[in-house]
Amino acid sequence: MLNSRLAIATALCLAVAGCVSGSGTQRLEREGNATLTGVVLPPPGARWRGSPPCAGVRVRVAHASEPTRPLGSVLVKQSRERCLYVVSSLPSEAELRLEVSLGEGWRCEDGEAPSLTPTPGSLRLRDYETATRDFRATCG
């Protein structure tokens, strides 16, 4: 009787372990302990139309394999005439895509929309890493 219970318990444990490991399926982490931070500097002589300058700044991080699903908790706020952003709870050891966009209120002296330098792109963070990516809006 004891041997049959032991055999059933062992079979059940192996079945559960096989289901958890999931053969062939890739599981993308949605949360993590890495953080991305930085600033977006306005161009010299920029004019603001409408709302406060940082209200229109959008920062988005996603897995490179699923770029439409944003990750992390995003905070954007004004700090000393620039926009500070923090994206926390990001997965580590994953290929991530960073996107930064300026609001409609960001305009150059000639009325054109500024561009960002450097261009946002891909990154990979380690466990508990806080990486910094700064951007400057440029005109012309």
Model confidence at 127, pLDDT cuts 50, 70, 90, reads: very high
Q: Which of 29-38, 40-49, 81-90, 97-106 has the highest mean pLDDT?
A: 81-90
Q: Which residues contact 39 (CB under 8 A, 6 or more apart)?
A: 79, 82, 83, 84, 85, 134, 135
Q: What is the mean pLDDT of the chain?
A: 81
Across the range 93-98, mean pLDDT stands at 95
Domain boundaries, the chain: 34-138
Residue with tokens 């792109």: 121
Tell me the CATH architecture of domain 34-138: Sandwich (2.60)
Structure pTM? 0.74
Instruction: Give the per-residue pLDDT at 83.
Output: 94
Q: Rounded distance, CA 33 to CA 51, Å?
A: 33
Instruction: Give the per-residue pLDDT at 9.
Output: 54
